[in-house]
Amino acid sequence: MIEQYNVYAAKLLPPEELFASGHKACQGCAPALALRYLMKALGPNTIVCNATGCMEIVSSAYPDIAWGVPWIHVAFENAAAVASGVEAGIKILQRKGKLAPGKINVVAIGGDGGTFDIGLQALSGMLERGHNAMYLCYDNEAYMNTGIQRSSGTPFGASTTTSPAGKAIPGQRTVKTALLEIAAAHQIAYAATACTSYPFDFMEKVKKAFSYDGAKMIHILAPCPTGWRTNPGEVIKHGRLAVQTGIFPLYEVDHGRYKMSLDLPFLKPLKMYLSPQGRYRHLTEEQVAIIEANMKARYAKLQALCRITAEV
């Protein structure tokens, strides 16, 4: 129903909380918001396969389970493989009549460490085999659970505990991997980016993803005030700035067709996004210029992909 309204209309969401409050996430944790929105979009006919990470730890310290749906955690690098098994198991049990027919949404969830790094192989396997499941990467741009170590989702220049802003090496030396491009290269039905500051865009994408059979992927930027060294009261603002400055564009790849999710008439200055974040405090003008150049090139490429793929 919410698809009809382009307004903030929280009252139109199901009041049911399938990812309940009382979990142990930090103040201002945007990944926890991502899970709450995810569950509002999916409803109770859902099985969640959670990789080890912040969201697994904070939601499942036995006996305090935050989940109102069947939930399984096995290990760090294998959420996509577990989801593959869950999906295959459901498929055969329904085919044999041992499980009631009907749609069951299978979701694998991992952080950026569990997805960009250690879980990339299992993710590729799940996407390539075309399991009828969605992978959600909640990206807070470092291994926050173990104490803010860099991952290949950490952006260039960011200071983390394993890419500290030192005198010789000022922060992360590599650029953030284009994760969604890797997912889309598997020629899956649907891949999209999202941001916790745009909940309705995210929930619509989740629903759209599950309107298709086969494998799908959503990569959601979810700011972590603890790791980003920002004010926990401003995570929504910082997420919006990530999108509005163009550093984390919202787009989808629907059966190979790229489409921007927001119509941004202009991009806000990048410094608005970078300067409130403690992880970027040390950046030199030179580093900011590198970040900006990379961002602009990626943004232009994305716009070009939207144009080109609209025609095919």
Partner 1 sequence: MGKRKGVESSIALADSAAMCRIEAIAAYPITPQTHIVEHLSEWVNDGHLEAEFVPVESEHSAMSAALGMSAVGARTFTATSSQGLALMHEILFIAPAMRLPIVMAVANRSLSGPISIWNDHSDIMTDRDIGWVQIFAENGQECFDLVPACFRVAEDKRVVLPTILNFDGFVVSHMIEPIEFWTQEQFDAYLPPFDPQIKLDVRKPVAMGAVGIPEIYYEARLAQQNALLNAKAVVVEAFAELEKTVGRKYNLVETYKADDADAILYLMGSLSETAMTAVDNLRAQGKKVGLVRPRLWRPFPTQELLAAFGNVPVVGVCDRALAFGLEHHMVAQEIRTLFYDAPHRPKLVEFVIGLGGRDVTIGDMEHILNRLLEVKNGAPVGPVEYVGVRK
| Contact positions vs partner 1 (CB under 8 A) | 44-47, 49, 56-57, 60-63, 65, 67-75, 77-78, 80-93, 95-96, 98-99, 104, 121-122, 124-125, 128-129
The residues, ordered by sequence, that sit 6+ positions from 30 with a Cβ below 8 Å of its Cβ are 140, 196, 197, 222, 223, 224, 235, 236, 239
Nearer to partner 1 among residue 70 and residue 170 (C-beta): 70
CB of 56 to partner 1, least distance (A): 7
Q: Would you state the structure tokens that stand for residue 70, as one six-digit string? A: 């069947």
Q: Residue with structure tokens 């284009």?
A: 178
Q: How many residues does the chain have?
A: 312
Tokens describing residue 211: 């309107």
Nearer to partner 1, 83 or 222 (CB): 83
**Considering beta carbons, is residue 216 or 240 the nearer one to partner 1?**
216
Q: Which of 70, 276 has the CB closer to partner 1?
A: 70
Least distance CB 264 / partner 1 (angstroms): 38
Shortest Cβ distance from residue 114 to partner 1 (Å)?
13
The CB-of-187 to partner 1 minimum distance in angstroms stands at 16
CB of 125 to partner 1, least distance (A): 4
Q: Which amino acid is at 117?
A: D
Residue number, 67 or 135, with CB nearest to partner 1: 67
**Distance of closest approach, residue 139 Cβ to partner 1, in angstroms:** 22
Q: How many CB atoms lie within 10 A of CB 16?
A: 11
Compute CA distances 36 → 66, 68, 70, 134, whole Å: 10, 11, 15, 16
Q: Which is nearer to partner 1, 41 or 250 (CB)?
A: 41
Cα–Cα distance list, 29 to 32, 48, 52, 130 (Å): 6, 20, 17, 32
